[in-house]
Structure formats: structure tokens, C-alpha cells
């Protein structure tokens, strides 16, 4: 794409200055129109499609694109629709109803509310003869809202009670009785985009990009098999996210799934795309999940890069160092890097408290200087399971985890060693995933281009 689409620049120019500043912030959250190809296409064809679509859009109007994966393989293009939701509960077609609402207070009972609203106990009795209405209305809590509709005669024609963001109990008068229904609204997921460049640390960059802690953690989880978030993150690294924002009746109710993400770590690009089985894969369909975590300590706990080339405090020589040291406070949780079986859980003067884990035939991981061991010899452990806590036991100068990774008995660098993968996609799953991946990556890349062009 040669230039920023005109409608976007026009929209930005029309914004108040404060908003423009916000937008130009390097990691401000960006929600822009997602332009998607109408069919799986090559990169060059996508640009052509994008340009076609743009010319049909109006400046200053807000468009929402639904990213329906079920339709990923369908020939119909993704829907472009102006949001026109937001209607009141439905009443009888001819009747003009008069609505009032009541917010439940502590100590309120249904009887008291009915009384306050000017309805008789008899009306409440008739209404609660509907079993579902009776059951649901028994659950009212302070702060919730009941809405009452009177007909021309002042009688209770309808009552609504919102059960959740998507469900509402609607009790309607039908002749001499009341009938209840649960109206379900659909959650509309709108794709959104965020970009972050790391200046101080990964966590702050995520927060500055407007992401929630949960979203930041999910990025670390997604890429945690390829990137050691404790030690490998550098200033200038960047990541972008395509994720869902969920709406009901046009009202934001929360964040949904991360659909695709890209992480650039020291110039190396990693991409993860959500498949409809709930797992993340590379664009080629290889599982993001590996048999081993890159780091047995959560990056949020790392205090510093521990210096592994330090002189030994006792011998005064550089001690041969076969592992990685993670500087972290005493008590920091240590996880098993992979599924396996504990082959040692013991103490000696050099290692302090230590745990060794065997993973399959070829791999062994070792965790040294623990303050606490939480597993026993012979015990089976899962990847990510808590096995101990960081300490300063054994021959050490400060609290840290010393971590070793052995392949066929040989020490390897756990941060760079090629790790065995979990299952990758194959057969008919693969082409189906590729269709999904292509769309999501195209959306991610388009947003990133537009975002970066606006800076
Ligand atoms: Zn060490």
C-alpha cells in the first residue's frame, strides 16, 4: 500500500488535538477498520482488494467488520455493516407501553418492589405463577435493575430483568396470565489492533498499548516457547496483536480472544495465529506449544540478568558454567520446563536444594539453589507445574535459579537449543488453517502498516 487511505487521514485530522496526540503515541491502542481480502489471496492481490474496498467507504463513518471464521472458506466477502443495534425490549405491537425502572436496593424484596412501583400483591402473585419467572426473580441482587411496563389501564404488561450481559428475562402478560422468556442477545466480536514497542520492559509496553494484564500474559504464553521473556527481551523489540473486543447491542462488554500476534525479538520475527481448535500455530501450521518452556521462571519475577561469568567466591576462578542463571527473589516460583519425572530432589553443599527432571529418553532439566523443593523423587510433573522456589542455597553469592538443559547427557543452551515440538497441523486441517491464517495475518499486517504510517 502506497499511502494511508485518505479517509483515515481525514478522520484523524477531524479529531480534537488531544485525541490526535493520543493516536500518535507510539503504543496507543488502535482500533481501525480491518480490511480483509474477500478470498484467500496473495499479498499483492490483497492490496488490490483493499484499495477497491476503500473507495466504497465514506469518510467519517465508523465501520465494523465482523471476522467470521466459519466463513473463512466461503466465497462471500466479510460483511461490512454500519452498526445499527440497540433497541428497547419488544412490547406488544399495537400497545403503547409506559416503562419505568427500579434499581434493587439491599433489603428489597420482590413484594416491596411491587408495592413501591404501585402494583398489588395480587399482580405479583399472578406473575410469579410462571415457574421460570418465579425462579429467576428470586435471584435479584442489590444494584440490578427491573423494568416495568404499564399498559393503558395501568396494569403490568411486561417486566424485564437483565440476567447477564447477554440474557434478559422478559415476563409478558398474555390474557389473564404471564409468560416468561429469556431473550438472548448475541455477542458481536469486533477485531481490534494494538501495537507496542518495548522501551523499558515488555510488561509496561503492553500496558502502554492499552492491553490488559491478561492479554499481556497471553502474549507471553503464546511466544513463551520460542522467546525467553525473562532474559531475551531487548529495547526496540515490538509486538502487535489482533484481538477481539466483544459488544452486546453496541456496548463494549469485554475483550475476547487474541486472533493473531507477531513478536519481533532482536530482529527475529515470530508469528502466532489462533486456529479454531483454540491452539496457536505458526503461519505454516506448526504448533507454538513446544515440549519445553524456554524459561522455568515467569518473566515478571526476574530482577536482573545474573552475571554467569562471575568469579567463584571460594576458588576465585571463573567456574565452568553449564547453565543459565535467573536472578529472582527468594521464594519466586520455579516451574518444570516440560512434562517429565523427577529423578532427584535433594540437597548438597554445592547445589543447595536441587531438583532434576527427566523428560522422555533424551532430555534432563536441572534446577539449583532452591529455597524450597516442592516435588519428591519419582514424582511425575507437568509442564509449568510448580516444583520449587528460588533461593540462595549451596555455593552462591545471591538468590537466583541456576537452570541446566541436557540433551543426551550433554549441556545445551536452553535459550537457543532446537526444542521438540508439540503436534503440528496435518491432513485436511492444514489447508483449512492456512485459509484462516492468511486472513488473520493480512488483517494484522494491514493494521500495522496503517498504524506505523500514522506515527
Ligand atoms: Zn549458575
Q: What is the pLDDT of residues 388-437, one digit of tens each?
A: 999 999 998 889 999 999 999 998 887 788 877 777 898 999 999 999 99
Residues near 357 by beta carbon (within 8 Å), at least 6 away in sequence? 336, 337, 338, 340, 341, 342, 343, 364, 365, 366, 367, 381, 387
What spatial distance separates the first Cα and last Cα of the chain, rounded to whole Å? 16
Residues 178, 192, single domain; the answer is: no
The CATH code of the domain that includes 318 is 2.70.70.10
Residues 382, 396, single domain; the answer is: yes
Domain count of the fold of the chain: 3
- pLDDT score for 421: 73
- pLDDT score for 424: 87
Residues 251, 375, single domain; the answer is: no
For residues 89 and 95, the model is more confident at 95
- On whether residue 310 sits in a domain, the answer given is yes
Nearest to 425, CA basis, from 270, 268, 289 = 289
CA of 377 to the centre of ligand 1 (A): 22
- On whether residue 1 sits in a domain, the answer given is no
The CATH code of the domain that includes 172 is 3.10.450.350
CA of 378 to the centre of ligand 1 (A): 25
CA of 294 to the centre of ligand 1 (A): 16
Contact predicate 177/170, CB 8 Å: no
CA atoms within 13 A on the CB side of 299: 23
Determine the average pLDDT of the residues in 123-146: 92
Nearest to 5, CA basis, from 63, 55, 46 = 55
Residues 360, 242, single domain; the answer is: no
Determine the average pLDDT of the residues in 227-240: 91
Contact predicate 169/136, CB 8 Å: yes
CA of 404 to the centre of ligand 1 (A): 8
- On whether residue 87 sits in a domain, the answer given is no
CA of 315 to the centre of ligand 1 (A): 15
What is the pTM for the complete model shown?
0.62
Give percent of the chain with pLDDT exceeding 90.
55
Range of the domain at 124: 98-184
CA of 381 to the centre of ligand 1 (A): 23
32-46, 219-233, 294-308: which has the minimum mean pLDDT?
Answer: 32-46
Of 184, 211, 244, the one marking the end of a domain is 184
- pLDDT score for 31: 37
CA of 217 to the centre of ligand 1 (A): 27
Residues 195, 160, single domain; the answer is: no
Determine the average pLDDT of the residues in 266-290: 93
CA torsion, ordered 319, 321, 327, 328, to nearest 10 deg: -100
- On whether residue 93 sits in a domain, the answer given is no
CA of 336 to the centre of ligand 1 (A): 17
CA of 406 to the centre of ligand 1 (A): 14
Residues 335, 386, single domain; the answer is: yes
Residues 263, 276, single domain; the answer is: yes
Residues 394, 365, single domain; the answer is: yes
- pLDDT score for 319: 56
Determine the average pLDDT of the residues in 1-12: 42
- On whether residue 143 sits in a domain, the answer given is yes
Of 117, 151, 184, the one marking the end of a domain is 184
Residues 192, 179, single domain; the answer is: no
Residues 162, 208, single domain; the answer is: no
196-210, 298-312, 315-329, 420-434: which has the minimum mean pLDDT?
Answer: 298-312
DSSP-assigned states of every residue in 107-118: T--HHHHHHHTT
Q: Is the pLDDT of residue 80 over 60?
A: no
CA of 402 to the centre of ligand 1 (A): 4
Residues 306, 398, single domain; the answer is: yes
CA of 379 to the centre of ligand 1 (A): 25
CA of 195 to the centre of ligand 1 (A): 35
Mean pLDDT, the chain, as a whole number?
A: 79
- On whether residue 85 sits in a domain, the answer given is no
- pLDDT score for 26: 33
Burial of 255 (0-12, 13-18, 19+ CB in 10 A): middle
Residues flanking ion ligand 1, Cβ below 5 Å: 325, 402
Amino acid at each position: 500500500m502506497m499511502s494511508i487511505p485518505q479517509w483515515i487521514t481525514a478522520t484523524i485530522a477531524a479529531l480534537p488535538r488531544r485525541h490526535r496526540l493520543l493516536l500518535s503515541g507510539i503504543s496507543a491502542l488502535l482500533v481501525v477498520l480491518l480490511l480483509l481480502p474477500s478470498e484467500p489471496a496473495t499479498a499483492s492481490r490483497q492490496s488490490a482488494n483493499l484499495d477497491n474496498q476503500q473507495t466504497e467507504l465514506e469518510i467519517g463513518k465508523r465501520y465494523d467488520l465482523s471476522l467470521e471464521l466459519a466463513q473463512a472458506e466461503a466465497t462471500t466477502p466479510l460483511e461490512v455493516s454500519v452498526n445499527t443495534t440497540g433497541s428497547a425490549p419488544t412490547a406488544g405491537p399495537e400497545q403503547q407501553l409506559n416503562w419505568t425502572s427500579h434499581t434493587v436496593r439491599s433489603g428489597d424484596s420482590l413484594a416491596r418492589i411491587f408495592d413501591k412501583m404501585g402494583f398489588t400483591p395480587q399482580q405479583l402473585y399472578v406473575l410469579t405463577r410462571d415457574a421460570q419467572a418465579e425462579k429467576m426473580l428470586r435471584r435479584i441482587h442489590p444494584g440490578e435493575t427491573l423494568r416495568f411496563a404499564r399498559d393503558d389501564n395501568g396494569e403490568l404488561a411486561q417486566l424485564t430483568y437483565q440476567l447477564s450481559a447477554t440474557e434478559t428475562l422478559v415476563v409478558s402478560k398474555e390474557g389473564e396470565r404471564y409468560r416468561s422468556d429469556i431473550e438472548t442477545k448475541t455477542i458481536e466480536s469486533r477485531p481490534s489492533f494494538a501495537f507496542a514497542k518495548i522501551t523499558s520492559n515488555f510488561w509496561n509496553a503492553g500496558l502502554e498499548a492499552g492491553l490488559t494484564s491478561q492479554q499481556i500474559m497471553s502474549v507471553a504464553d503464546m511466544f513463551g516457547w520460542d522467546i525467553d521473556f525473562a532474559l531475551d527481551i531487548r529495547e526496540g523489540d515490538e509486538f502487535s496483536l489482533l484481538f477481539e473486543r466483544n459488544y452486546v447491542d453496541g456496548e463494549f462488554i469485554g475483550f475476547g480472544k487474541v486472533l493473531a500476534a507477531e513478536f519481533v525479538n532482536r530482529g527475529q520475527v515470530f508469528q502466532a495465529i489462533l486456529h479454531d481448535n483454540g491452539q496457536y500455530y505458526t503461519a505454516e501450521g506448526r504448533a507454538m506449544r513446544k515440549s519445553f518452556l524456554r524459561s522455568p521462571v515467569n518473566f515478571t519475577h526476574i530482577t536482573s540478568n545474573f552475571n554467569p561469568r562471575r568469579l567463584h567466591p571460594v576458588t576465585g576462578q571463573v567456574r565452568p558454567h553449564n547453565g543459565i542463571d535467573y536472578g529472582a527473589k527468594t521464594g519466586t516460583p520455579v516451574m518444570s520446563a516440560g512434562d517429565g519425572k523427577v529423578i532427584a530432589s535433594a540437597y548438597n553443599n554445592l547445589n543447595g536444594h536441587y531438583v532434576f527432571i527427566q523428560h522422555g529418553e533424551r532430555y534432563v532439566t536441572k534446577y539449583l539453589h532452591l529455597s524450597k523443593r516442592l516435588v519428591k523423587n519419582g514424582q511425575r510433573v507437568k509442564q509449568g507445574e510448580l516444583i520449587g522456589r528460588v533461593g540462595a542455597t549451596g555455593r552462591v553469592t545471591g538468590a537466583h535459579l541456576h537452570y541446566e538443559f541436557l540433551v543426551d547427557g550433554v549441556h545445551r543452551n536452553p535459550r537457543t537449543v532446537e526444542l521438540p515440538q508439540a503436534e503440528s497441523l496435518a491432513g485436511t486441517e492444514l489447508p483449512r488453517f492456512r485459509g484462516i491464517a492468511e486472513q488473520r495475518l493480512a488483517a494484522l499486517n494491514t493494521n500495522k502498516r496503517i498504524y506505523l504510517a500514522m506515527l
